[in-house]
């Protein structure tokens, strides 16, 4: 994770001020008791190998380098012990593949381990520890105190540093438990290595180093298998969650959320095949959803276009591997890229592209996991689209594409509930009926009447927009529901609606003539207005009173007019 530039600079400055000078001073005051190039090289090699094969237990990675550094302290002196630890830090940073935003971890870890090893080394000497002393009774207590001091200092420094960079760190957490157990294992190994080295020389490094590294490798392989099984189990659970979502947006959001929780994802893009183009469906960058305003891709255009064309997953460990393929948009700080085709019925229906600012952020086995997730995702998206289409069809008028009677009544009931709770002040309802619509049907044919209804819906939709909810109530009747709009404002809008209908002729084609001529016909409408709570105590009463105003106040008064409901 990235941190504030000021904090990063503090770590670098602190490292530059303390570590180089500290190394020089420890060399002056605690130099190697005897220079043995081969022996020292083998100690360094053992430390390097251990760094590359950590032991992972319950998801917590433990680097057991301490058993080598303590043996080096007992055999050579503090300076060499610190030197081994600093080399291990460099190798560790290389192994975990830190990105540019995490470079602060180099000086931070180097400084932490330098302080912990230096202070614990001084405590070792303060309690009577001596370099090269092969009397077990003289070694056992200072070495134990050294390990305890190092353990406490390391966790104190971790606690302080994590809080400085904004990470929550529990001092008495799972890490502490496993580190305690690790120290209990490291301590006898260190003592054993020191005494065997004192008696047998470099052979001791092989006698203890080979089995230790072998066990580490076996545990690493076992952990990889466990990790893959864990990922597969999580993929199945995520798949079930996805298929339970009914809305497309919910499926997209959950998919990105779960992918980001289980993989190092800084950028995520879901693209959908639409004809001969690959359109952006969802775009999330650094945890934030962005607009889908990127240019569509063609087959073999860019990384996603190649994945679409070939139907095969790709994995790139750094920018140099994909820079020649990328075409179009790609954030400048991206290094690792993982892209998988989204398949349905053996056909590519989309592409998922994940990216990280870290190099080598993804493992090969993760391609299989993401491919599994994409299979679940494809089914969930298809189900979501089918559900939304079915829901849309059940709520919309097939002819005008306006909301229908069922949707309108459900909405009115919900709005009335909000009114009763006090969340809305008033609700106004405009109901209109086309005048003499039967004459239109009888004169020009029912298809011509449908043309009038479609144009009416279009005019009203453009006029109302998001100001209210427009629905076809039935036949030639339309309703407009207005939340927090009083009767005076509703009546004014109703008059605008009336003029919009009456002042411009409608276009139709006569179905009853052989030539099906294009005609311009004048249409008018009668409109009734009612407002709750003053005009009605419930939703059905509001509909009934608006209908009453329409037929008694407008139709009977001559049509082509607006009438408000008046209590009698």
Of the spans 151-165, 337-351, 479-493, which averages the highest pLDDT?
A: 479-493
Q: 5-228 maps to which CATH number?
A: 1.10.1760
Q: What are 403-428's pLDDT values in tens digits?
A: 999 899 999 999 999 999 999 999 99
- Give me the chain's average pLDDT, please: 87
Least-confidence region, from 250-259, 487-496, 508-517: 508-517
Cis peptide upstream of residue 431 (ω within 30 degrees of 0) = no
User: Residue by residue, what is the 3-state secondary structure of 65-123?
Assistant: CHHHHHHHHHHCCHHHHHHHHHHHHHHHHHHCCCCHHHCCHHHHHHHHHHHHHHHHHHH
> What is the pLDDT at residue 174?
54
Please tell me the distance from the alpha carbon of residue 337 to that of residue 240, in angstroms, as a whole number: 26
pLDDT digits (tens, 9 = 90+) for 109-144: 899 999 999 999 999 999 999 998 888 888 999 999
**Is pLDDT above 80 for 223?**
no
Please give the C-alpha separations between residue 235 and each of 238, 248, 348, 472, in angstroms, as whole numbers: 5, 19, 20, 45
Task: State the pLDDT confidence band at 59, using cuts at 50, 70 and 90.
Answer: very low
pLDDT digits (tens, 9 = 90+) for 350-399: 999 999 988 888 888 888 888 888 888 888 888 888 888 888 888 899 89
CATH of region 405-564: 3.30.70.270
Q: What does the pLDDT look like over 517-549, one tens digit per residue?
A: 889 999 999 999 999 999 998 999 999 999 999
Whether 314 shows a pLDDT value over 90: the answer reads yes
DSSP 531: E
Query: Which residues lie across from 341 on neighbouring strands?
Result: 351
Residues 513 and 516: their CA atoms lie apart, in Å, by 5
From residue 559, alpha-carbon distances to 116, 370, 487, 523, 553 in Å are: 92, 64, 20, 11, 9
**pLDDT at residue number 389:** 83
- What was the pLDDT predicted at 170? 60
Tell me the range of 238-242, 317-321, 501-505 where mean pLDDT is highest. Answer: 501-505
> Is the pLDDT assigned to residue 63 strictly greater than 70?
no
Residue 393 and residue 205: Cα distance in Å, rounded?
76
Helix (H, G, I), strand (E, B) or coil at 561: coil
Does the pLDDT at position 15 exceed 90? yes
Instruction: State the fold for domain 245-388.
Output: Beta-Lactamase (3.30.450)
pLDDT score, position 556: 92
Predicted confidence band at 178 (pLDDT cuts at 50, 70, 90)?
low
Is the model more confident about 284 or about 51?
Answer: 284
What confidence tier does 164 reach under pLDDT thresholds 50, 70, 90?
A: confident
Residues labelled catalytic: 476
User: Is pLDDT at 2 greater than 60 in this prediction?
Assistant: no
Its pTM surpasses 0.85: no
For position 54, what pLDDT does the model report? 64
Domain boundaries, the chain: 5-228, 245-388, 405-564
* Helix ranges, 201-247 (H): 203-244
Using the predicted structure, report yes or no on whether residue 173 has a pLDDT greater than 60: no
């Amino acid at each position: 994770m990235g941190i504030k530039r000021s904090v990063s600079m503090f770590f670098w400055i602190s490292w530059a001020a303390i570590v180089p000078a500290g190394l020089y001073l420890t060399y002056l005051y605690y130099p190697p008791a005897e220079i043995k190039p081969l022996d020292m090289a083998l100690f360094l090699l053992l430390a390097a190998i251990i760094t590359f094969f950590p032991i992972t237990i319950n998801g917590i990675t433990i680097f057991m380098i301490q058993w080598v550094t303590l043996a080096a302290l007992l055999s050579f002196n503090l300076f060499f012990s610190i030197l081994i630890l600093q080399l291990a830090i460099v190798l560790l940073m290389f192994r975990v593949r830190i990105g540019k935003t995490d470079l602060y971890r180099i000086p931070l870890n180097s400084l932490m381990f330098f302080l912990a090893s230096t202070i614990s080394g001084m405590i070792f000497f303060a309690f009577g520890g001596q370099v090269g002393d092969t009397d077990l009774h003289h070694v056992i207590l200072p070495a134990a105190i050294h390990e305890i001091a190092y353990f406490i200092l390391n966790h104190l420094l971790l606690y302080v540093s994590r809080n400085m960079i904004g990470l929550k760190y529990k001092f008495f957490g799972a890490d502490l438990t496993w580190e305690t157990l690790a120290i209990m294992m490291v301590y006898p190994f260190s003592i054993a290595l020191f005494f065997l080295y004192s008696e047998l020389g470099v052979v001791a490094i092989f006698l203890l180093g080979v089995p230790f590294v072998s066990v580490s490798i076996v545990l690493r392989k076992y952990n990889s298998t466990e990790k893959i099984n864990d990922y597969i189990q999580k993929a199945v659970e995520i798949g079930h969650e996805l298929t339970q979502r009914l809305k497309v947006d919910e499926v997209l959001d959950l998919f990105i959320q779960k992918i980001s929780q289980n993989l190092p994802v800084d950028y995520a893009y879901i693209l959908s095949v639409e004809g001969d183009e690959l359109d952006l469906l969802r775009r999330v960058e650094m945890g934030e959803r962005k607009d889908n305003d990127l240019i569509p891709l063609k087959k073999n255009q860019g990384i996603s276009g190649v994945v679409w064309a070939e139907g095969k997953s790709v994995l790139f460990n750094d920018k140099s591997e994909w820079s020649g393929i990328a075409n179009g948009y790609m954030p400048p700080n991206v290094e690792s890229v993982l892209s998988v085709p989204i398949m349905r019925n053996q056909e590519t229906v989309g592409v998922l592209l994940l990216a990280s600012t870290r190099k080598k952020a993804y493992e090969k086995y993760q391609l299989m996991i993401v491919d599994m997730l994409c299979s679940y995702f494809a089914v969930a998206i298809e189900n979501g689209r089918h559900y939304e289409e079915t829901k849309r069809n059940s709520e919309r008028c097939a002819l005008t594409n306006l909301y229908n009677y069922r949707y309108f009544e459900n909405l009115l009931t919900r709005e009335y509930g909000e009114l009763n709770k006090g969340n809305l002040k008033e609700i106004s309802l405009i109901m209109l009926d086309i005048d003499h619509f039967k004459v239109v049907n009888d004169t020009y044919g029912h298809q011509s009447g449908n043309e009038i209804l479609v144009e009416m819906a279009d005019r009203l939709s453009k006029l109302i927009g998001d100001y209210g909810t427009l629905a076809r109530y039935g036949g030639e009747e339309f309703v407009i529901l207005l939340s927090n709009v009083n009767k005076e404002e509703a009546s004014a809008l109703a008059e605008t609606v009336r003029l919009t209908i009456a002042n411009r002729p409608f276009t139709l084609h006569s179905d009853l003539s052989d030539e099906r001529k294009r005609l311009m016909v004048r249409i008018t409408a009668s409109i009734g207005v009612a407002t709750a709570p003053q005009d009605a105590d419930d939703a059905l009463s509001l509909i009934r009173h608006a209908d009453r105003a329409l037929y008694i106040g407008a139709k009977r008064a001559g049509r082509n007019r607006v009438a408000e409901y008046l209590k009698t």
